């Protein structure tokens, strides 16, 4: 049945993209009125359909880590924290204790190295594809990019700290 819906949608998708009169909910039958036009008696406008829709992808739906969650992950020692800032930024501003510095431009290559090479180049244990990996940067922009790269490489449990070093430093000074 799912295959039939895929085939039906593949015939309709180009029209959905070009015809602004057809809503995105037009792919699922319901008891609603069919959309006008020849040959689309099986197309219905049902925006309720999107409420039950689930997206499929390699990135888990909740990828953000708060300061408190990051502190727990660091205390547990079961996560790999990768800071994707440039080395000069770490020298100038500081770094999260226990994090490994892998500049953003090297993340994709670094995550494909042999574990020994990774350890030699970056001074930390290379994460396995099933390990929890948390990316961080200065303010959360580069860490999100690194998260996407890792997901594309097959890492399953990847997250990022959107507050980055700025949020970490602010929270550490308060405590």
The residues annotated with a catalytic role in the active site are: 137
d(CA 3, CA 7) in angstroms, rounded, equals 6
d(CA 121, CA 110) in angstroms, rounded, equals 9
Write the DSSP assignment of 133-157 as a string of letters.
Answer: EEEE-SSSHHHHHHHHHHHHTT-SE
d(CA 44, CA 75) in angstroms, rounded, equals 53
Q: Identify the CA nearest to 40 among candidates 3, 8, 6, 1.
A: 8
Using alpha carbons only, give the angle 78, 167, 91 rounded to the nearest 5 degrees: 80
């Amino acid at each position: 049945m799912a295959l039939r819906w895929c085939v039906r949608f593949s015939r309709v998708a180009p029209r959905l993209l070009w015809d602004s009169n057809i809503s995105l909910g037009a792919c699922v039958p319901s008891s609603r009125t069919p959309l006008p036009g020849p040959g689309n008696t099986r197309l219905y406008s049902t925006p309720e359909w999107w409420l039950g829709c689930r997206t499929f992808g390699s990135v888990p739906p909740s990828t953000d880590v708060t300061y408190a969650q990051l502190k727990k992950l660091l205390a547990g020692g079961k996560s790999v924290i990768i800071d994707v800032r440039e080395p000069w930024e770490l020298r100038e501003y500081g770094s999260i204790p226990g994090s490994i510095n892998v500049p953003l431009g090297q993340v994709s290559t670094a995550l494909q190295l042999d574990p020994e090479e990774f350890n030699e180049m970056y001074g930390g244990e290379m994460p396995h594809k099933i390990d929890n990996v948390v990316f961080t940067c200065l303010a959360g922009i580069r860490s999100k990019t690194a998260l996407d790269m890792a997901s594309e490489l097959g890492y399953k449990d990847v997250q990022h700290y959107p507050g980055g070093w700025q949020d970490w430093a602010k929270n550490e000074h308060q405590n």
